[in-house]
A and B are shown apart, each in its own frame.
Chain A
Amino acid sequence: MPDMVSLDRAGPQQRQFNPYSDNGGTILAIAGADFSVIAGDTRQSEGYNIQTRYAPKVFKLTDKAVLAVNGFAADGNMFVKRVRQRLEWYRHAHAKDMPLRAIARLIQTMLYGRRFFPYYVYNILGGIEEDGSGAVYSFDPVGSYERESCRAAGAAQSLVQPFLDNQIYFKNQTAAPGTTHPKHLPLQEVLSLVIDSFTSATERHIEASVGDGLEMYVVLARGSQLQGLENVPNVQEMTTTSDGERIFIIRRELKKD
């Protein structure tokens, strides 16, 4: 007699629709004394599959605020869209751009508003504070946040963050006798560190999740010098007003394999 297929042995079975996905990529932001650098790679992937080599993860919100969004791309794009809408409403109501610390708090409440069906995204907000200082705010998917002077997030966070601890915060380094470590690094040095971080991450990260292109936004405080930015290749100014903070974008290639 042939084997009988037992039906009741299978038991009830349920497959649930999974509304999330991980689209890889890495973002990074570093604050200087009077500037802020916010960067992200441009690859969008799912597992080992590269969906596109150019899908921006870093977005200009205002002339003094830039938001980098990493995680589930559909949530990320939708979140940026909603933040921008709230900022537009603010501009219409108050005839000015929302200050950076207020944007940070807005992002917290928006993220926490979805506490029980979270946006699967790690946010890093960079820009210039009202007092003219460079600032970076980092968030978890449900809205916990803090102001820092440097943060990496995404697929290569574990590779980049300890490197930044060492090179930005001078962790485990002792200053020469009679000297102290600088509180903030100059722009040129910050840009080199960002590029080094991304090339390292691209080189070593397993899975096809970091690479293709790099976009670095630089926000300069009101009235500050260009600090060598004019000599950087592929730099493009994105400022919309003439007397406020200035925003630049620098594009670079990363390895495509």
Chain B
Amino acid sequence: MDHFPTNWGRPRNDAFDAYGTYPIAQRPYNGPKDTFETGVQRTQQPIVTGTSVLALKYKDGIMMAADNLASYGSLARFKDVERLHSVGNNTVIGAGGDMSDFQYIQSILDSLMIEEFTAQDGHSLGPSEIHEYLSQVMYSRRSKMDPLWNSLIVGGFKDGKRFLSYVDLLGTTYSSSTLATGYGSYIAQPLLRKAVEGYEDVLTEEQAEKIITECLKVLFYRDARSLNKYQIATITAKGVHISESRSMETTWSFAEGIRGYGSQTQ
């Protein structure tokens, strides 16, 4: 409703317009400008997606792994995307789900770390604070019915303590000694649990890497949206280390003999 009578377009009336201010040269226009001005576009579905992220606790800290693929539906669209991202010196986040939402999350976290740094108060955000912050962001976006379409794993090592936790587009959080998102939660998580539960404090980095690459390999074979090019991150007392992309040897000759697995002529 336009509350300015002068905008109503009525003829002049001395009772309220004694000085002839109507029509005003630049009178305010309060009507609708753009029908869709107040409309917002919400994420209805993920578009360019990443698949599983795997993580486990081992003797010296946390190990996390994810492949370098960002799919566009069934198309392997981007094959050099980094889905592991370090935040500060003690934390790595790994993301599955929508990659544009993930990059937005990276930018939020990077600004947050800068803001915290400029405070120069002798504090720095560790993995638990980053996870808490992320879960508040994810939960508030789901409550606006405008979710960030991701499953995130936050891993870190600070003050001699390992940290490993999960948060997703619903704001659901949990932590355990092994975590896996997406297809990994069906395929890799049982393998990880069998290999890691009870051995968190004895597994060496070499053993942990063997377990996690074995799980990745199983995923490469069974998850059609995965890639044999991946990165592994470790977060230990020495800080964060995210490896260069590496490729894994795969063999497909056995598929020849399995109907429905390899390419069949008939």
Q: Do chains A and B touch in the complex (CB under 8 A)?
A: yes
CB pair A73–B176 under 8 Å, yes or no, is no
| B174 to A, closest residue via Cβ | A52
* A49 on the B face (CB < 8 A): yes
Do A77 and B173 touch across chains, with their CB atoms under 8 A apart?
yes
5 pairs from A and B in contact (CB 8 Å cutoff): A19-B142, A46-B172, A49-B186, A73-B173, A78-B171
Kindly report which residue of chain A lies nearest to residue B186, judged by CB atoms: A49
Complex Cα distance A147/B76, Å?
58
Q: Is B125 an interface residue (CB 8 A)?
A: no
Residues of B within 8 A of A49 (CB): 185-186
B147 interface hit (Cβ, 8 Å): yes
Q: Contact between A19 and B170 (Cβ–Cβ < 8 Å)? A: yes
What is the 8 Å Cβ interface bit string for chain A, positions 216-245, against chain B (1 contact, 0 not)?
000000000000000000000000000000
For B147, give the chain A residue with the smallest CB separation: A17
Interface residue ranges, A against B (CB under 8 Å): 15, 17, 19-21, 23, 44, 46, 49, 51-55, 72-74, 77-78, 117
Q: Is B44 an interface residue (CB 8 A)?
A: yes
Nearest opposing residue in chain A for B146, CB measure: A17
Chain B nearest CB: distance from A52 CB in Å?
4
B175 contacts A74, C-beta separation under 8 Å: no
Q: Which of B244-259 contact A (CB under 8 A)?
A: none
4 tightest CB-CB pairs across the interface, nearest first?
Answer: A74-B171, A52-B174, A52-B176, A74-B172
Cα distance A231–B2 when bound, in Å? 76
Q: Are the CB atoms of B139 and A74 closer together than 8 Å?
A: yes
Partner of B170, one of A21, A53, A54: A21
Is the pair B142, A74 in contact by a Cβ cutoff of 8 Å?
yes
The reply on B26 being an interface residue by CB < 8 A is no
In the bound complex, residues from chain A placing their C-beta under 8 Å from that of B174 are 44, 51-52, 55, 73
Closest to B168 in A: A74
Given contacts A15-B44, A51-B176, A55-B174, 5 further A-B contacts (CB under 8 A): A19-B143, A19-B170, A46-B172, A73-B174, A74-B171
B197-232 to A contact mask, C-beta < 8 Å, 1/0: 000000000000000000000000000000000000
Q: Hey, which chain A residues are within 8 Å of B185, CB to CB?
A: 49
User: Shortest Cβ distance from A257 into chain B, in angstroms?
Assistant: 13
Distance (whole angstroms) from the CB of A76 to the closest CB of chain B: 10
CB distance from B110 to the nearest CB of A (A): 25
B145 near A19 with CB under 8 A, answer: yes
Interface of A is mostly: loop
Give Cα A228 to B173, complex, Å.
Answer: 37
Chain B residues closer than 8 Å to A23, beta-carbon distance: 172
Scoring A21, A49, A52, A74 by chain B CB atoms within 10 A of each residue's CB, the highest score goes to A74
Bound-state Cα–Cα, A78 to B135, Å? 10
CA distance A73 to B175 in the complex (A): 13
Minimum CB distance partner of A23 in chain B: B172
Task: Say whether B45 faces chain A, with CB atoms less than 8 Å apart.
Answer: yes
CB-based contact A53/B139 at 8 Å: no
Bound CA span A20–B147, Å: 12
* A-chain residues with CB within 8 Å of residue B186 when the two chains form the complex: 49
Q: Determine the residue in chain B with the shortest Cβ distance to A117.
A: B143
Which residues of B lie under 8 Å from residue A77 when comparing CB positions? 173
Query: Chain A nearest CB: distance from B47 CB in Å?
Result: 14
Would you call A52 and B143 a contact (CB within 8 A)?
A: no
| Chain A residues closer than 8 Å to B43, beta-carbon distance | 17
A78 B139 Cβ-Cβ under 8 A: yes
Q: A49-B185, A77-B173 are in contact. Are A15 and B139 (CB under 8 A)?
A: no
With a 10 A CB-CB cut-off, give which of B43, B170, B171, B176 has the most chain A CB atoms.
B170
- In Å, the complex CA distance between A49 and B142 comes to 22
**In the complex the two chains form, what is the Cα distance from A21 to B145 in whole Å?**
14
Question: Which single residue of chain A is at the shortest CB-CB distance from B142?
Answer: A19
Whether A53 contacts B176 by the Cβ 8 Å rule is yes
In the complex formed, the residue of B with least CB distance to A46 is: B172
Name the A residues within 8 Å of B173 (CB-CB).
73-74, 77
- Within B144-175, the residues touching A (CB, 8 Å) are 145, 147, 166, 170-175
Residues of chain A within 8 A (CB-CB) of B175 are 52, 55
